[in-house]
Amino acid sequence: MIKSGIDQKALADMFTNATTKQGEALRQAVSSATLKALQGREMTVKNIQGVLKSVTQAASAGAADSGLPAVDVEALLGKALAGMDSALLQAVEAQRKALEQFVEQGVSTQEKQLKGALGDLEKMEDMFFTTVTKAAQTASEQLQGPWNQVLESMQLKGTASGAQATATVEQLMASAQQASREGRAAGAKAAEALMKGYATLVSGVLIGMSEGLRQESPAAKPATKTSRK
One digit per residue, the tens of pLDDT, for the chain of length 229 reads 566 678 889 999 998 887 767 788 899 999 999 999 998 888 899 999 999 999 999 999 999 998 888 889 999 999 999 999 999 999 999 999 988 888 887 777 788 888 899 999 999 999 999 999 999 999 999 999 999 999 999 999 999 999 999 999 999 989 888 877 666 655 556 656 666 777 777 878 888 875 544 444 444 444 444 344 3
Instruction: Kindly report the pTM of this predicted structure.
Output: 0.83
Residue ranges of domains in the chain? 2-215
First to last CA, the chain: 31
Q: At what angle do helices 198-208 and 70-104 cross, to 10 degrees?
A: 120
Residues 105, 186 contacting (CB under 8 angstroms): yes
Distance of CA 85 to the CA centre of its chain: 5
